[in-house]
């Protein structure tokens, strides 16, 4: 697989952190730190209420802005939800779908993840689909099966053309927010399996061009080794994305890859 076909991508997932005012303060610090980065794409996925401030603040910079979820319907009686069209209109370019916290705490299933992903893709948003096994799955030796099934269901009825906007984030649930990252070998193995599944569905041309990220306690100390792996095209970063210095180290490691 030719890694040079894929521009590195680093996505920050701020989760439910930072008010609009704090969002601008963080971006004020981050923007000059990463301004020289030109060989990696940078996205920050902020809380819904921060989107407008973040889009405004990053205008004309090399940072793009994304959301952390999107509803599958274009509009309607879905209290508390946000549509893809709403995200587009305020200038978001990207959205995370199927994060394990959504699956664990908010009842997301592989099927709802697929529906949300398709709505985002239909609207033309870069769609970062999260997959990953629990510790129980890993200990039972079924990581490949679990992640394979999540990936296949998430991509049901996604066209070959839409794959240009698909990013798969491999995030082992046991590594998220725990300080315990997957080893480079573990992360590479699963990312390669995901690419192979994409190859079987869409062919090698698309598989070679699809971004697959690793996420799960990636930080300034461990990012270089993870990002060096053949099938890891960047990172989905939680905790470290709230620390401009650490996030910049990760972005620069991706930029040098």
Binding site for ligand PEP (CB under 6 A): 13, 171, 176-177, 215-218, 236-240
Helix (H, G, I), strand (E, B) or coil at 69: coil
Helix (H, G, I), strand (E, B) or coil at 215: strand
Toward ligand PEP, which CB reaches closer, 18 or 207?
Answer: 18
Of 41, 107, 40, nearest in space to 69 by CA: 107
Q: What is the DSSP letter of 242?
A: G
Q: b/e per residue, 34-58, with b = 16+ CB within 10 A?
A: beebeebbbbbbbbbebbbbbbebb
Shortest distance (Å) from residue 242 CB to ligand PEP: 9
Toward ligand PEP, which CB reaches closer, 146 or 207?
Answer: 146
Shortest distance (Å) from residue 162 CB to ligand PEP: 23
Residue 99 annotated as catalytic:
yes
The residue of the chain with the least Cβ separation from ligand PEP equals: 238
Residue 21 annotated as catalytic:
no
Q: Which of 71, 171, 211, 229 is catalytic?
A: 171
CA 126 to each of CA 19, 70, 79, 95, 189: distance values in angstroms, whole numbers, following the listed order: 24, 12, 24, 6, 24
State the residue for tokens 């994409």: 198
Q: b/e per residue, 84-93, with b = 16+ CB within 10 A?
A: bebbbeeebb
Backbone angles phi, psi at 124, to 5 degrees: 90, 15
Exposed / middle / buried, residue 14 (Cβ in 10 Å: 0-12, 13-18, 19+): buried
Toward ligand PEP, which CB reaches closer, 120 or 218?
Answer: 218
Shortest distance (Å) from residue 169 CB to ligand PEP: 7
Shortest distance (Å) from residue 20 CB to ligand PEP: 21
Toward ligand PEP, which CB reaches closer, 1 or 245?
Answer: 245
Helix (H, G, I), strand (E, B) or coil at 26: helix
State the residue for tokens 């981050």: 30
Q: Which of 71, 99, 211, 229 is catalytic?
A: 99
Other Cβ atoms less than 10 A from the Cβ of 230: the count is 12
**Active-site residue set:** 99, 171
């Amino acid at each position: 697989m030719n890694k040079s076909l894929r521009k590195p991508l680093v996505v920050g997932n701020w989760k439910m952190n930072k008010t609009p005012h704090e969002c601008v303060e963080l971006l004020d610090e981050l923007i000059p730190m990463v301004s020289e980065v030109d060989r990696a794409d940078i996205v920050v996925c902020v809380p819904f209420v921060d989107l407008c401030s973040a889009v405004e603040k990053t205008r004309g910079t090399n940072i793009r802005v994304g959301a952390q979820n999107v509803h599958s319907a274009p509009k309607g009686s879905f209290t508390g939800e946000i549509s893809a069209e709403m995200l587009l209109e305020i200038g978001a370019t990207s959205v995370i779908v199927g994060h394990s916290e959504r699956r664990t705490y908010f009842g997301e299933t592989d099927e709802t993840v697929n529906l949300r992903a398709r709505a985002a893709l239909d609207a033309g948003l870069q769609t970062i689909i999260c997959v990953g096994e629990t510790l129980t799955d890993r200990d039972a030796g079924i990581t490949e099966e679990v992640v394979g099934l999540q990936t296949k269901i998430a991509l049901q009825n996604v066209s070959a053309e839409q794959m240009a906007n698909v990013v798969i984030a491999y995030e082992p649930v046991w590594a998220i927010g725990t300080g315990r990252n997957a080893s480079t070998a573990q992360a590479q193995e699963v990312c390669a399996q995901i690419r192979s599944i994409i190859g079987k569905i869409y062919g090698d041309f698309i598989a070679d061009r699809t971004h697959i990220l690793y996420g799960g306690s990636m930080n300034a100390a461990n990012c270089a080794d993870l990002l060096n792996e053949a099938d890891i095209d960047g990172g989905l970063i939680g905790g470290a994305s709230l620390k401009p210095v650490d996030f910049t180290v990760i972005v620069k490691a991706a930029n040098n890859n």
